[in-house]
Amino acid sequence: MAYAYTPGLTVTRSAVIRRKRILPLSGEVLKSKGDIVAAEDIVAKTDLPGSVETVNIVNRLGIASEDIREFMLKKEGDRVSENEPLAQTKPLLSWFKTVCKSPVSGTIEKVSEVTGQVLIRGEPQPVLIRAYIDGIVVEVFEEQGVTVQTTASFVQGIFGVGRETSGVLRLIVSNPEEALDADRIDESCKGAILIGGSLVTPDAIGKASETGVRGIISGGIHAKTIKDYLGYDLGVAITGSEDVPTTLIITEGFGKIRMASRTFDLLAELSGKKSSISGATQIRAGVIRPEIIIPADKSASIAKSTEREALKIGDPVRIIREPFFGRIGKLAQLPPELAKIETEAKVRIMIVELPDGQRITVPRANVELIES
């Protein structure tokens, strides 16, 4: 049957997880079908072409463009280092010589007798694609990449920032009500992915970054904390490419919010195991959720998580789109008739009561059930 709401975040003890690991352009695939890989293993690599630097030789030397090759010390295809001479004049007296040096290291791509310019292609930038999860290669795409499969426990968050990373899960709070503050983090947390409770504080994020913590999982976070951590407002872009030292995954929403018991209990049980996480999030069409993947033992059986088929009055819900993104409340009413929203579209709606007693009207597609 069709759902009248967006299903809640996935929290499952065992599932088959597949992740494609694809290069941005053609390159070399380093693994074969059937290979066992670790999250840190490089499965494919390529080089991005360097940027092009233009050097105006004729202006520097005061020569005619058609004579440029007579003064060149390098030809097309030659490699040059930064500050290495490219061309020079040939005066009768050597101390009157004018030398034009390369501004970058790279390769001479073009010497133009029309413009009198030299184009230097900078050094290529290596791109390394890692497996991301411990598992087995089940597909190989020639010159593109691979698909890695694993059996794992799988948890989705509602919001995250930061790149893919991996580390050992470490529980550092005693219950899902507790906040993760800086006092709980020490040098023993280096390289770990920390499991918090209801809130992660700005000081905790700062200390985690300094200590070398790879990730933090928390029920809630204040929006200002994220802005201060990144140094800018996120807007509505896809997250996951932020250059931050510690990836953050928020499982419930904004503010101090107790982590759902089902999520906390599973993560606590798996504390001490290696996991892979990604902060990538997109809340518009083509939803992308931040994720936590904890590979299981090879003998683990596959189980599917169960979902409820309908909402009922009083159910806890989370709003997943603006202008109330991240707010949590309870279902107050489910009007059966269609209603016109700001976009002039007619959709099915629901009335949600927020903790302060305020009641708001939101499209059913903008709400997800909080599983308990």
pLDDT digits (tens, 9 = 90+) for 331-343: 898 888 888 777 7
For residue 113, tell me if it sits in a domain: yes
Supply the CATH number for residue 60's domain.
2.40.50
Q: Is the pLDDT of residue 300 over 70?
A: no
Same domain, 170 and 42: yes
Where does the pLDDT of residue 317 fall: very low under 50, low under 70, confident under 90, or very high at 90 and above? confident
What average pLDDT score do residues 300-305 get?
A: 40
94: confidence class by pLDDT, cuts 50, 70, 90: low
Same domain, 92 and 167: no
End residue of a domain, out of 122, 143, 175: 122
Q: Are strands 192-195 and 215-221 parallel, antiparallel or unpaired?
A: parallel
- Cβ-based neighbour number of residue 358 at 10 Å: 10
Question: Comparing C-alpha atoms, which of 162, 104, 185, 199 is closest to residue 291?
Answer: 162
Do residue 42 and residue 59 come from a single domain?
A: no
Residues 199 and 86 in one domain: no
pLDDT at 313 over 90: no
Pair (58, 41) in one structural domain: no
Q: How far apart are CA 233 and CA 254, in angstroms?
A: 15
Q: Is the pLDDT of residue 12 over 60?
A: yes
Position 334 scores a pLDDT of 86
- Assess whether 164 and 31 both reside in one domain: yes
pTM for this one?
Answer: 0.74
277 close to 163: Cβ distance less than 8 angstroms: no
Question: Are 347 and 320 in a shared domain?
Answer: yes
In a domain, 302, yes or no: no
Using DSSP, state whether 59 is helix, strand or coil: helix
Q: What is the pLDDT of residue 304?
A: 41
**What share of the chain in percent tops pLDDT 90?**
68
- Report yes or no on 68 lying in a domain: yes
**Residue 300 maps to a domain:** no
Please report which confidence band the pLDDT of residue 146 belongs to, taking 50, 70 and 90 as the band edges.
Answer: very high
Pair (333, 222) in one structural domain: no
- pLDDT value for 4: 41
CB-hemisphere CA count at 13 Å for 258? 12
- Are 147 and 29 within one domain? yes
- pLDDT, residue 302, reads 39
Question: 311 lies in a domain?
Answer: no
Distances (CA, A) of 33 to 24, 114, 128, 145, 319: 21, 52, 19, 11, 42
Q: Choose one of 80, 101, 122: the last residue of a domain.
A: 122
Number of compact structural domains in the chain: 3
What is the band of 307 on the pLDDT scale with cuts at 50, 70, 90? very low
The residue with greater pLDDT, 179 or 348, is 179
Q: Which amino acid is present at 326?
A: G
Non-local CB neighbours of 50 within 8 Å, separated by 6+ positions: 106, 121, 122, 123, 124, 125
Mean pLDDT of 260-285: 91
Q: Specify if 241 maps to a domain.
A: yes
Mean pLDDT, to the nearest integer, of 83-87? Answer: 94
Q: Which range has the top average pLDDT, 117-126, 282-291, 308-317? A: 117-126
Q: What is the mean pLDDT of residues 135-145?
A: 96
pLDDT band at 143 (very low <50, low <70, confident <90, very high): very high
- Whether residue 333 sits in one domain with residue 201: no
pLDDT confidence bin for 316, thresholds 50/70/90 = confident
Residue 238 has a pLDDT of 84
Q: Are residues 241 and 265 in the same domain?
A: yes
Secondary structure of residue 226 in the 3-state scheme: helix
**Domain span at 362:** 316-369
pLDDT reading at 85 higher than 50: yes
Same domain, 139 and 83: no
305 found inside a domain: no
The CA-atom distances, in angstroms, between 177 and each of 67, 169, 218, 219, 280 are: 77, 19, 10, 9, 25
The pLDDT confidence band at residue 8, using thresholds 50, 70 and 90, is: low
- Other Cβ atoms within 10 Å of 247 Cβ, number: 26
Q: Is residue 110 part of a domain?
A: yes
Encode 183-217: b = buried (16+ Cβ within 10 Å), e = exposed: ebbeeebeebbbbbbbbbbbebbebbeebebbbbb
Of 122, 146, 162, which residue constitutes the final position of a domain? Answer: 122
